[in-house]
Amino acid sequence: MPMAGIYGPEDLGGSLAAHPAPQSRQQQAHGRELTMPSLEWTPEVERATAHLYERVKNVISPVEWPLMAPYVKAINELKVTRNAVILAHNYQTPEIFHCVADIVGDSLQLAIEATKVKSDIIIQCGVHFMAETSKILNPNKTVLIPDSRAGCSLAASITGADVRLLRERFPGVPVVAYVNTSADVKAEVDICCTSSNAVQVVESLNAPTVIFLPDQYLARYVASQTKVKIIAWKGACEVHERFTGDELRAYREADPSVQIIAHPECPPDVLAEADFTGSTAHMINWVRNKHPKRVVMITECSMADNVQAELPDVEMVRPCNLCPHMKRITLAKILDSLVYLREEVVIDPMIAEKARRSVERMINLKN
Ligand code: 13P
Ligand code: SF4
């Protein structure tokens, strides 16, 4: 179905307040402060982390590991002391993804897993909207993000006020928000979606037209897969919008047998060149199941490293666009989070309550 329109703040004519920075209270007194453990590389650290190094030895050199292992050991011990769980997105670096995370996945898997957490503290290794989603689903738990400046170009592209203006412009048209949005935006929409379930969510509304925000490229991808008319927003992921169809054609010319898989946040000319399109979890499963000889993963770089660590015999061709926001999360900051209980994610309870409805409506959709 062709797109029914694509809107941005300038098309709505309303006075749009500056996008509010993510709210974050400094260091709450939720428990005792711990002292920073020793971060020396010792024979004991080497022994205690040897089994973890086995998981990443294809992608982390023996020269780098002594700098990481003391943090890995300290984080894994303090998680137990704090009764904390670490949720990490597929774009986190291998030493986080494979060595300290308890739960890994795409945005949908992380949201679902967040509903099952029993620990007192959730440490979200990902970006701010992901930590907000965990807090929305766990209002009584402490949710920490190691660096609250870890934003997202999609989440920054739209506010709750923009959604209210869109509703005025298109009365009665249901609104679907990609989870890559602030709690403020989630509170204004009918339902959330992720790249794993976007088409299913849009079709679940049984409406002839749906407003889909904020990713214009994911909106185009959804429009190409459904008969529902899509009204989109002009947001884009700064990582995926940089890939081009020319770049993909060059990979194929260099090796016609290469497999190319892409995330649906990419522009349409990129997706047209791909052998498979799917969320980060679907891309990983595709590589696990097909086991190609050579594959180009058109998404954030760390994901190829994480898959490479698991599947050393698959050759990864890395076009490598880094997400600067995801890369703000480091072992040192995760350790700080555990020691000093920072940085706590705080959401106005009224907004969280409304946002929860949109997120839970998505999670409760039957497959
Ligand atoms: P998924 O992991 O849900 O595919 O999302 C990708 C992404 O860009 C998250 O920021
Ligand atoms: Fe946002 Fe794109 Fe980074 Fe994901 S990869 S957090 S969508 S900027």
Could you read off the pLDDT of 164-223 as tens digits, one per residue? 999 999 999 999 999 999 999 999 999 999 999 999 999 999 999 999 999 999 999 999
- pLDDT, residue 4, reads 72
pLDDT band per the 50, 70, 90 thresholds, residue 319: confident
Q: Cα separation of 143 and 134, whole Å?
A: 7
pLDDT of residue 26 exceeding 50, the answer is no
Q: Whose CA is nearest to atom 2 of ligand 2?
A: 237
Sign for the CA dihedral angle at 337, 343, 348, 353 comes to negative
- pLDDT, residue 272, reads 97
Average pLDDT over residues 292-318: 95
Which of 325, 328, 329 has the most ligand 2 atoms within 8 A of CB, as the residue to mutate? 325
Q: Where are the domains of the chain?
A: 5-15+156-237, 31-153+327-345, 240-322
Ligand with smallest separation from the Cα of 192 = 1
Nearest alpha carbon to residue 317 among 266, 259, 264, 271: 259
Establish whether residue 106 lines the binding site of ligand 1, counting it when its CB lies within 6 angstroms of any ligand atom. yes
Ligand with smallest separation from the Cα of 151 = 2
When mean pLDDT is compared across 3-12, 105-114, 246-255, 261-270, the lowest value belongs to: 3-12
Distance 323 CA to ligand 2 centre (A): 6
Average pLDDT over residues 16-36: 51
- pLDDT, residue 318, reads 80
Q: Name the DSSP letter for residue 235.
A: B
CA-127 nearest atom, ligand 2: 6
pLDDT band per the 50, 70, 90 thresholds, residue 257: very high
Distance 150 CA to ligand 2 centre (A): 10
CA-279 nearest atom, ligand 1: 4
The CATH class given to the 240-322 domain equals alpha beta
pLDDT band per the 50, 70, 90 thresholds, residue 320: confident
Considering only CA atoms, give the Rg of the chain.
21
pLDDT of residue 325 exceeding 60, the answer is yes
- pLDDT, residue 22, reads 38
pTM of the model: 0.92
Evaluate whether 5-15+156-237 and 31-153+327-345 have a shared fold: yes
The amino acid at residue 282 is H
Establish whether residue 109 lines the binding site of ligand 1, counting it when its CB lies within 6 angstroms of any ligand atom. no
Establish whether residue 300 lines the binding site of ligand 2, counting it when its CB lies within 6 angstroms of any ligand atom. yes
The vertex-272 CA angle with 217 and 279, nearest 5°, equals 55
Establish whether residue 266 lines the binding site of ligand 2, counting it when its CB lies within 6 angstroms of any ligand atom. no
Establish whether residue 181 lines the binding site of ligand 1, counting it when its CB lies within 6 angstroms of any ligand atom. no
Q: Cα separation of 299 and 150, whole Å?
A: 18
Name the β-bridge partners of 229.
Answer: 209
pLDDT of residue 21 exceeding 60, the answer is no
Name the percent of the chain lying above pLDDT 70.
93
3-class SS letters over 174-227: CEEEECCCCHHHHCCCCEEECCCCHHHHHHHCCCCEEEEECEHHHHHHHHHHCC
Establish whether residue 236 lines the binding site of ligand 2, counting it when its CB lies within 6 angstroms of any ligand atom. no
Give the list of residues 6+ apart from residue 337 with CB closer than 8 angstroms, or none.
123, 144, 145, 146, 343
Ligand with smallest separation from the Cα of 285 = 1
CA-240 nearest atom, ligand 2: 2
Rounded to 5 degrees, what are φ and ψ at 11?
-85, -10
pLDDT of residue 25 exceeding 50, the answer is no
CATH code of 31-153+327-345, in short, is: 3.40.50.10800
- pLDDT, residue 31, reads 61
312: left (phi over 0), alpha (psi -120 to 50) or beta: alpha
Which of 92, 103, 104, 106 has the most ligand 1 atoms within 8 A of CB, as the residue to mutate? 106
The CATH class given to the 5-15+156-237 domain equals alpha beta
Give tens-digit pLDDT for 238-254. 999 999 999 999 999 99
- pLDDT, residue 15, reads 36
3-class SS letters over 266-323: CCHHHHCCCCEECCHHHHHHHHHHHCCCEEEEECEHHHHHHHHHHCCCCEEECCCECC
Residue 140: count of CB within 10 angstroms of its CB: 6
Establish whether residue 130 lines the binding site of ligand 2, counting it when its CB lies within 6 angstroms of any ligand atom. no
pLDDT of residue 147 exceeding 60, the answer is yes
Average pLDDT over residues 97-103: 98
Establish whether residue 308 lines the binding site of ligand 1, counting it when its CB lies within 6 angstroms of any ligand atom. no
Establish whether residue 337 lines the binding site of ligand 1, counting it when its CB lies within 6 angstroms of any ligand atom. no
